[in-house]
Amino acid sequence: MKFADQARQAARVLSRNGQKPVTRQDLGDRLGIQTRKDMRRVDDAVRALVKSGDLTKNSPQGNGVYRWTGQAAKPSKQEVMWRYLRARRAVTAEELQEVAEASANYVQEWLRLLDSQKVGRWEGDVFRLVKDPGPEPPRNESKAEYLRRRREQKKQALAKLDAAFVAVAEARLAVSQMEEG
């Protein structure tokens, strides 16, 4: 289970389905978080839960107390387009733009993906669904792999940068501790 899903479940349980307020510290304790560094994951999860509507701030001051609302997240543009395409079976790019409130470029890129996966095809200005693989929208595995590689490269670059900062700090300390002679 992903950490975000664990945090969502912990927030629901701790709040007794919205009956009791929850703090970030409550969530950290429930998730077995022990260090400040690991609490960043909790903070990220809380922000995601607030953004999705599952948690709301319990007071206008934003004092770190939240209430479980359990509202479902708004579907992504891709999910909206996929549901619309499955329901209609034939659509125009303009229809998808309007329904999903997406840019023309995003819609065109998504339709090219479906075309390349042989899920649909163009018939003039109309895109027709020819194979329905189910309720989940098809994934762009090559783009997902590219993004995974980029995240890993970024992580490695940040680790090198952190190591360089440590080396500079140690060198400065060594210089400052040298006796002048």
pLDDT digits (tens, 9 = 90+) for 65-124: 888 887 655 778 888 999 999 999 999 999 999 999 999 999 999 999 999 999 999 999
Closest C-alpha to 139, from 63, 79, 179: 79
**Which candidate, 104, 58, 101, places its Cα nearest to that of 79?**
101
pLDDT average, residue stretch 23-41: 88
Rounded Cα gap, residues 144 and 176, in angstroms: 48
Compute the average pLDDT of residues 128-136: 87
- In tens, the pLDDT along 41-64 reads 888 888 888 888 888 887 655 677
pTM of model > 0.85:
no
pLDDT at 1 over 80: no
Please, which residues bridge with residue 68 across strands? 55
Q: In three state form, how does the secondary structure of the chain look?
A: CCHHHHHHHHHHHHCCCCCCCEEHHHHHHHCCCCCHHHHHHHHHHHHHHHHHCCEEECCCCCCCEEEECCCCCCCCHHHHHHHHHHHHCEEEHHHHHHHHCCCHHHHHHHHHHHHHCCCEEEECCEEEECCCCCCCCCCCHHHHHHHHHHHHHHHHHHHHHHHHHHHHHHHHHHHHHCCCC
**Given this model, what pLDDT does residue 177 score?**
87
| Average pLDDT value over all residues in the chain | 87
